Amino acid sequence: MNVVYVSLSYIPSRRASSVHVMKMCAALARAGHDVRLVAKRSPDRGDAASDAHAFYGVSGFSIDKLARPSWRGGGLVYALATLGALVAQRRRADLVYSRDMIGALTALELRMPTVAEFHAVPAGPRLRALTRRIIHHRSLRGIVVISDALRRDLAAENLIPRHAPVVVAHDAADPPSRIDRFRSAAEHGPQSPHGEGRAARPRIGYVGNLYPGRGIELILELAARLPACDFELIGGSEADLAAWRARVQLPNVILAGFVRPAELAERYRRFDILLMPYPRSGIGGVGSAASDTSRWCSPMKMFEYMAAGAPIITSDLPVLGEVLRHEHNALVAPAGDVASWQHAIERLMSEPSLGPRLAQQAYADLVRNHTWDTRVRGIFAGLSL
């Protein structure tokens, strides 16, 4: 099929949403489709100077980068540019796949077969009205939601189409080309980040944003309680990094900053334990307008962790339980309960077989159900495309 993927993401950028978009386009291309991504041109000079495909470690599709001016009304300029891009592809495209609600409605009004993907319940009367127009449109081929919890909440708000299917497709990750990360801790001890054999200090990792709603305070409390372990936090804006560096005085905490998506897999290999300490509420985007998505989230970080080959400790958010189960492929600890998280880390260090068993099961579950390729196959099968 000729697929036009419509996005609100800046390309390239440091936002997780942009990683999702690029990975999906690459997976669609690997499935044999001719893919053209419509996205915003990055306003950041450093990222904009990068080759977008190399920045994310993907290939196989083309990108139309459209201007989105920063001044008031810039969103309308981008919407009109998207309209122009869709009109240009109208006769050629077999399917429009959209994470942009306005882009989805634009394609539908052009009578282009369209799939809309939702990552949250729309907030406010305008977005809900827009969503209703999308779900009732006859050109809609179906919608995709990132968790079963989101599907249930959309259904409760009567925001589910009656004439088109709904597919639950969690986020995903690409497994490494080879996995030699699994090992017996009893035989080898924690792996050195430089590969020299036994390391004296376990390395405990976190990858993601550093703003409120990410559980950073819990990680720092753990670092204070476990001085024999090194804690490395990858990610964060320059402003967030500066704020935390001014506050953090612990010698066993490393604030590593942003790492390009294409380079993350190698960094993951350094860690012996991975933390996902989401609180019970507050997971959202950047800025004061961010919505709380803790009921519906399907973080890409979770799947990247599953690909890494190290055991995961995660918060007990019900939506995360759609993928991670205690003692099966992760250890689950009460959100915000520092003592329980400390106990989980100490268990992994004192029970040599536990970490490798959990990590291998997480990797097997990822390969079976949660790669980008399986995500695309599941979506197309569920929507009968």
Which CATH number does the domain housing residue 167 bear? Answer: 3.40.50.2000
In a domain? residue 178? no
* 9 and 145 fall within a common domain: yes
In a domain? residue 180? no
- pLDDT of 321 higher than 70: yes
**Structural domains in the chain (count):** 2
Q: What percent of the chain has pLDDT over 70?
A: 89
* 249 and 345 fall within a common domain: yes
Cα–Cα separations (whole angstroms), residue 252 to 64, 248, 259: 44, 10, 20
Amino acid at 320: L
Q: How far apart are CA 113 and CA 98, in angstroms?
A: 11
* 148 and 208 fall within a common domain: no
* 158 and 14 fall within a common domain: yes
* 347 and 210 fall within a common domain: yes
* 149 and 246 fall within a common domain: no
In which band, very low, low, confident or very high, does the pLDDT at 185 lie, cut at 50, 70 and 90? very low
Residue range(s) defining the domain that contains residue 23: 2-172+371-382
Q: How far apart are CA 131 and CA 159, in angstroms?
A: 7
Three-state DSSP state, 255: strand
pTM of the model: 0.89
- pLDDT of 244 higher than 60: yes
Three-state DSSP state, 35: strand
* Mean predicted confidence (pLDDT) in 160-164: 95
Q: How far apart are CA 336 and CA 340, in angstroms?
A: 9
- pLDDT of 81 higher than 60: yes
Task: Quote the pLDDT of residue 79.
Answer: 93
Task: State the burial class of residue 135 (Cβ atoms within 10 Å of its Cβ: 0-12, 13-18, 19+).
Answer: buried
Whether 24 and 4 have beta carbons less than 8 Å apart is answered as no
Q: How far apart are CA 374 and CA 28, in angstroms?
A: 10
Name the DSSP class of 299.
Answer: -
* 293 and 214 fall within a common domain: yes
In a domain? residue 327? yes
- pLDDT of 199 higher than 80: no
Other CB atoms within a 10 A radius of the CB of residue 224 amount to 14
Average pLDDT for the chain: 89
> Which range has the worst mean pLDDT, 5-14, 192-201, 237-246?
192-201
3-state helix, strand, coil in the chain (%, to 5): 40, 20, 40
Cα–Cα separations (whole angstroms), residue 94 to 105, 107, 113, 126: 16, 11, 7, 29
Task: Quote the pLDDT of residue 289.
Answer: 36
More confident residue, 289 or 153: 153
HSE-up of residue 317 (Cα within 13 Å, Cβ side): 29
Q: How far apart are CA 35 and CA 18, in angstroms?
A: 16
CA distance from start to end of the chain: 9
* Mean predicted confidence (pLDDT) in 94-116: 97
In a domain? residue 343? yes
* 16 and 163 fall within a common domain: yes
| Kind and range of the H or E run holding 233 | strand 230-234
Q: How far apart are CA 233 and CA 229, in angstroms?
A: 13
* Rounded-to-10 torsion of CA 223, 224, 230, 236: 50
* 342 and 378 fall within a common domain: no
In a domain? residue 18? yes
